[in-house]
Homo-oligomer: A and B are copies of this chain.
């Protein structure tokens, strides 16, 4: 038996707008320089990926990706500095939760 914790960010109306899905998508954009490629890599439709990014942007109040038009590679997307800062905060939050919760698990279920 082991514990798995999932962390999510919700808007004030109670709708989820961020978690591991959008996080992995944006990490893909950072790595691949393209929202399309990042979505493909997750087996996700581009339209769904775009909606996911727009949804988070609306709640956060800043752009997460910017488009590069044309160029040698035929264009793509990159993360804004604010997106990178937000992703680092999300990682800090998530990883600290995982660590704290693992310690709590060991404490509560140690006799199990």
Let me know if B6 and A8 touch, CB within 8 A: yes
| Interface flag for A11 (CB, 8 Å) | yes
| A81-96 at interface with B (beta carbon < 8 Å) | 89, 92-93, 96
A73-86 near B? 1/0 per residue, CB < 8 Å? 00000000000000
Total A residues in contact with B, Cβ cutoff 8 Å: 27
Let me know if A100 and B104 touch, CB within 8 A: yes
| A1-52 at interface with B (beta carbon < 8 Å) | 1-12, 16
Cross-interface CB contact of A2 among B2, B9, B92, cutoff 8 Å: B9
A interface, CB within 8 angstroms of B: 1-12, 16, 59-60, 89, 92-93, 96-97, 100-101, 104-105, 108-109, 112
